[in-house]
Chains A and B, each alone.
Chain A
Amino acid sequence: MTPGTRTWQGELREALSDLTPGVTLCLLFLIAVFMIGAFAPWIAPYGEGEILTNDSFLPPNSQMWLGSDYLGRDVLSRLIYGVRITLFLALIITFLSFFAGVFLGFLAAAFGGRADSWMSRVNDALLSFPALMLALIVINSLGSSFVVLVFTIAFIDMTRVFRVARALAVNIMVMDYVEAAVVRGEGKGWIIWHEVLPNALTPLAAEFGIRFTYAILFISALSFLGLGVQPPQSDLGVMVKENMQAILWGEYTTLYPAFGIALIAISMNVFVDWLLQRSSAKLPDEI
């Protein structure tokens, strides 16, 4: 081990020097995509719902770089707005599911015993429900809106986060340094905050990336089925659905949003893989 002390600047510098070209590319792409999402109204050449032509599925041209969609709107502009909505939803969902899942998971691990076994049992029962079915049932009853989507998917995600967070915390709780804090007489709060959390941060960060990707794919799938984001608002999944006919016309309109989703997800997955390999942290077995 190198002498001297570790600081966050030092760690950051070391992390940056570990970046491979592939990971750097993915990271830059993710940053770019987030910027595009954040500043969509200033970047997009046309408005989100602006109908520019009567011709559906125009091929790319100098005015519309990616051509027109089935209503004659600019595909590029809609793609930029679509990215904005997709990322926005996925971020809220992931943050919500993380706050709830990590909080409950750590709580279960810290208290153990009966509280833990009941929480875990309920969670296992919820996990025995296929995610898409849960979403479809809720949407059937409540209809589809941003609020319903966000809370439903966040809830589904939370069950996964709970499991990972609990397993991580349980593995840390049995370490002797936690026992040392217990025998010193420390309270649960101190133990979670000072002993458990610092050791769970890296795997949790990786899990955040995985759940974020999952949220993007899940919303896109629902939107594609017509049960997610409802027109006139549109995320990338809606764009794929509404432009499906383009295929019959021999145009690639529907592929742009589909590949957009894939590229964001690939970049995130590559980054997560790198993070896990670098820290040789392990996530508990989980999908």
Chain B
Amino acid sequence: MSLTEILWKRMVLGIGTLIFVSVLVFLGTEILPGDVAHAILGQGATPELLEQIRERLGLNEPLHVRYWVWLTNFITGDFGTSLANGADIGTEITRRASNTIILALCTAIIAVPLAIALGLAAAVKPGGLVDRAITSTSLALISFPDFLVAVVLVTIFAIKLRWLPAIASIRPSYDLVDWIRILILPVMGLTFTILAHMVRMTRSAVLNVLTSPAIEMAILKGVPRRRLLLRHALPNALGPIINVVALNLAYLISGVVVIETLFNFPGLGRYMVEAVTNRDVPIVQTCAMIFCSFYVLLNMTADILSIIANPRVRYKK
């Protein structure tokens, strides 16, 4: 198989996965007992009212028709209206998604280079002081619940020192400085939730390469240390590292949901949690689809990049 064929295959698989995910999201939210009509009416449901609502929402149509309508609407950007207050979901999503993207992007920009640097530093001298410090700290960090670091940060920086706000609500009048002030704590909290895993996995990926016979050969050839790491080890570690990074950016999803809730940050994650609490099905569906698509696309990109990074695939026999 040529490189392009492999890549095509991976992309088709990605699209297939997206379809599977959409089916699951739809089924999970629509056919499980809590009927949408019930959810809207709550306690005051009479059979006539239920029937009316079902008719209006198209709930009496066969399942596959409803799925198709829902999917095409989703793809064309028509997310429907909130069951709770009838507001258009599209406008709310756009506002909140951009907030979440800013939060996630800031985290990724800080966490990824930091994690790779720390992972490399640990792997270069396994068993050394730096390695032991990094491995044991990261072992502790992966055991922390997502909210722990954030709670501690808030206690220190917002309550004790009063340097930063504990709540990250956003006003339209905010300028860059205000944005930075409110973002610092959530970004720090989020960074810690994904950093530790990324460091540990980068370390083991690099270590795996560094203990290979090819590296031993390079040492025995007298290749200077710097070149050994950059020219010999890094290209071989690149594929695994890309995978590590993608895998851990996927952790951002659960991290974002927890951190946004904790800081009252008006993003997609908190929007979804509130919707689940209120059983606001259209919002849950939309948010779930957005998060899941992000996850699937991220994994696909990582696979494609690491396929390209592998010389064995790039240069066929």
List chain A positions with a Cβ less than 8 A from chain B. 125, 128-134, 136-143, 213, 217, 220-221, 224-227, 237, 240, 244, 247-248, 250, 252, 254-255, 258-259, 261-262, 265-266, 268-270, 273, 287
CB-defined contacts of A134 to chain B, threshold 8 Å: 28
CB-defined contacts of A131 to chain B, threshold 8 Å: 254
Q: In the docked arrangement, what's the CA distance between A141 and B20, Å?
A: 19
Most B CB within 10 A of own CB, among A133, A244, A265: A133
CB-defined contacts of B275 to chain A, threshold 8 Å: 140
CB-defined contacts of B142 to chain A, threshold 8 Å: 269
**Assuming A140-B28, A227-B277, A258-B145, what are 9 further A-B pairs, CB within 8 angstroms?**
A141-B32, A141-B33, A142-B34, A224-B145, A225-B261, A227-B276, A237-B145, A265-B143, A268-B143
Are B144 and A137 in touch, CB under 8 angstroms?
A: no
CB-defined contacts of A244 to chain B, threshold 8 Å: 151, 262
CB-defined contacts of A139 to chain B, threshold 8 Å: 276
For the complex, is B56 an interface residue (Cβ under 8 Å from A)? no
- B3-11, B42-50, B73-81, B291-299 - the one binding chain A: B291-299
For the complex, is B301 an interface residue (Cβ under 8 Å from A)? no
Scan residues 246-261 of chain B and give those whose CB is less than 8 A from a CB of chain A: 247, 250, 253-254, 257-258, 261
Are B276 and A140 in touch, CB under 8 angstroms?
A: yes
CB-defined contacts of B261 to chain A, threshold 8 Å: 224-225
Which residue in B139, B152, B257 is a CB contact (below 8 Å) of A225? B257
For the complex, is B146 an interface residue (Cβ under 8 Å from A)? yes
Q: In the docked arrangement, what's the CA distance between A273 and B296, Å?
A: 30
Tell me how far the C-beta of B135 lies from the nearest C-beta in chain A, rounded to whole angstroms: 9
Are B288 and A142 in touch, CB under 8 angstroms?
A: no
Given A125-B20, A227-B273, check contact A259 B148 (CB 8 Å): yes
Interface of A is mostly: helix
Q: In the docked arrangement, what's the CA distance between A252 and B281, Å?
A: 37
Q: In the docked arrangement, what's the CA distance between A42 and B275, Å?
A: 40
Q: In the docked arrangement, what's the CA distance between A21 and B166, Å?
A: 39
21 contacts between A and B (CB under 8 A): A128-B17, A129-B21, A129-B24, A130-B250, A131-B254, A136-B272, A136-B276, A136-B284, A136-B288, A137-B24, A137-B28, A138-B28, A138-B32, A140-B284, A141-B28, A141-B34, A213-B143, A240-B147, A244-B151, A262-B143, A287-B197
Tell me how far the C-beta of B108 lies from the nearest C-beta in chain A, rounded to whole angstroms: 16
Q: In the docked arrangement, what's the CA distance between A252 and B147, Å?
A: 14
- Interface 1/0 per residue, B272-286 and A, CB below 8 Å: 110111010100100
Given A133-B288, A237-B145, check contact A270 B279 (CB 8 Å): no
- B84-92, B153-161, B223-231, B305-313 - the one binding chain A: B153-161
Are A130 and B253 in touch, CB under 8 angstroms?
A: yes
Which residue in B151, B276, B281, B292 is a CB contact (below 8 Å) of A255? B151
Are B28 and A247 in touch, CB under 8 angstroms?
A: no
CB-defined contacts of B262 to chain A, threshold 8 Å: 224, 244
Tell me how far the C-beta of B241 lies from the nearest C-beta in chain A, rounded to whole angstroms: 13
What is the total of A-B residue contacts with beta carbons within 8 Å? 135
Q: In the docked arrangement, what's the CA distance between A73 and B47, Å?
A: 44
Are A250 and B160 in touch, CB under 8 angstroms?
A: yes
Q: In the docked arrangement, what's the CA distance between A255 and B284, Å?
A: 31
Q: In the docked arrangement, what's the CA distance between A262 and B144, Å?
A: 5
For the complex, is B71 an interface residue (Cβ under 8 Å from A)? no
Are B160 and A128 in touch, CB under 8 angstroms?
A: no
Are A248 and B166 in touch, CB under 8 angstroms?
A: yes
Q: In the docked arrangement, what's the CA distance between A3 and B233, Å?
A: 42
Are A137 and B145 in touch, CB under 8 angstroms?
A: no
Q: In the docked arrangement, what's the CA distance between A252 and B164, Å?
A: 19
CB-defined contacts of B176 to chain A, threshold 8 Å: none
Closest to B167 in A: A248
Are B281 and A140 in touch, CB under 8 angstroms?
A: yes
Tell me how far the C-beta of A20 lies from the nearest C-beta in chain B, rounded to whole angstroms: 12
Q: In the docked arrangement, what's the CA distance between A133 and B275, Å?
A: 13
Q: In the docked arrangement, what's the CA distance between A262 and B147, Å?
A: 11
For the complex, is B218 an interface residue (Cβ under 8 Å from A)? no
Q: In the docked arrangement, what's the CA distance between A140 and B25, Å?
A: 11
Q: In the docked arrangement, what's the CA distance between A138 and B29, Å?
A: 7
CB-defined contacts of B220 to chain A, threshold 8 Å: none
Given A128-B295, A141-B33, check contact A221 B276 (CB 8 Å): no
CB-defined contacts of B147 to chain A, threshold 8 Å: 221, 224, 240, 258
Which residue in B17, B160, B166, B277 is a CB contact (below 8 Å) of A226? B277
For the complex, is B140 an interface residue (Cβ under 8 Å from A)? yes
CB-defined contacts of A265 to chain B, threshold 8 Å: 143-145
Given A141-B34, A250-B159, A266-B139, check contact A225 B299 (CB 8 Å): no
CB-defined contacts of B273 to chain A, threshold 8 Å: 136, 225-227
Closest to A210 in B: B142
Tell me how far the C-beta of A123 lies from the nearest C-beta in chain B, rounded to whole angstroms: 12
Are B292 and A129 in touch, CB under 8 angstroms?
A: yes
Are B140 and A266 in touch, CB under 8 angstroms?
A: yes
CB-defined contacts of B148 to chain A, threshold 8 Å: 258-259, 261-262
Are B253 and A220 in touch, CB under 8 angstroms?
A: no
Given A133-B292, A269-B143, check contact A255 B254 (CB 8 Å): no
Closest to A273 in B: B139
CB-defined contacts of B291 to chain A, threshold 8 Å: 130, 133
Tell me how far the C-beta of B39 lies from the nearest C-beta in chain A, rounded to whole angstroms: 9
